[in-house]
Amino acid sequence: MESGEPFSEQFQDFYFSTDGGLQETEYVFLKQNGFPQRFDALKEEPKDYVLRIGETGFGTGLNFLVTAYHWLQINNLNCILEYTAVEKYPLTKLQMEQVYTTFKKTWPQLSACCSELLNQYPLNFFPSDNSASINQFELFNGKIRLNLIIDDATKGLKHLLSTQELSLNHSQHNSLQKMDAWYLDGFAPAKNPDMWQIELFKTLAKLSKPGTTISTFTSAGVVRRGLIEAGFTMSKISGPGKKREILLGVKE
Ligand SMILES: C[S@@+](CC[C@H](N)C(=O)[O-])C[C@H]1O[C@@H](n2cnc3c(N)ncnc32)[C@H](O)[C@@H]1O
């Protein structure tokens, strides 16, 4: 972490490509989900329209920062971006401050988003016991909402689903608040097999609607087959830089 190139000792893997991390995020996660063009198309939507993006593995928040940056570039957009990420091992505020010092130098266009998030990033997250702990942040005067769920991806998303079903039963919502797009991050399946399980893919499907898009940097067969089994149509395309292939898909 000291070198500014975040590395996980636990998973023996980098948080993102140290060679063009921002471009990789734009290619793997934004472009494959149709962003920012899909943001632009929301100009016609009413003021209270919410676009929902879900992510597994928030890490340093680079995917979030890049998405928030592009969202804020669209003029005359009155809708809200709600970004819900699950993270089992959150970085401390001190680690985030170190990483963001590097981000700001490398990618100055992300500076405002880094500062806005750091201002609200807590010193400590409360440990979650049986229920997932959801931390909510209102950024840029409410234009962007970040829900950070500190939990295992499958457990945290299942909890989110059950909370929504519960409030639906109590008529607090008219329908489940399903995601419009998913970013699946979370270290390579070979290094983190526990996360990439069919139960996760089925939970993602339950929190999706027809047309929900999904992308991930991995092209592992276990992920492609699992997402197909859960109800997504998946394709492989060439990856960024040295990465041969990545996966993208859409919920049937
Ligand atoms: C490749 S990094 C993510 C990079 C991140 N998107 C970023 O921009 O920094 C993978 C992240 O997944 C998290 N993770 C690993 N296993 C997980 C699990 N079972 N549930 C939730 N998060 C997990 C790790 O702690 C790490 O932060």
pLDDT tens for 167-214 read 777 776 667 789 999 999 989 999 999 999 999 999 999 999 999 999
- Residue 13 CA to ligand 1 center (angstroms) comes to 10
Q: Is 100 touching ligand 1 by the criterion CB < 6 Å?
A: no
> Taking CA 205 as the corner, what is the angle to CA 200 and CA 209, rounded to the nearest 5 degrees?
155
Q: Is 153 touching ligand 1 by the criterion CB < 6 Å?
A: yes
The secondary structure element, H or E, covering residue 156 is helix 153-169
Separation of alpha carbons 146 and 56, rounded Å = 13
- Residue 187 CA to ligand 1 center (angstroms) comes to 6
pTM exceeds 0.75 for this model: yes
Q: Is 212 touching ligand 1 by the criterion CB < 6 Å?
A: no
Q: Choose among 160, 157, 112: nearest CA to 139.
A: 112
As a whole number, the mean pLDDT across the chain is 91
pLDDT tens for 101-131 read 999 999 999 999 999 999 999 998 865 555 5
The full set of domains in the chain, from first to last, is 7-251 (3.40.50.150)
Q: Is 62 touching ligand 1 by the criterion CB < 6 Å?
A: yes
Separation of alpha carbons 29 and 249, rounded Å = 11
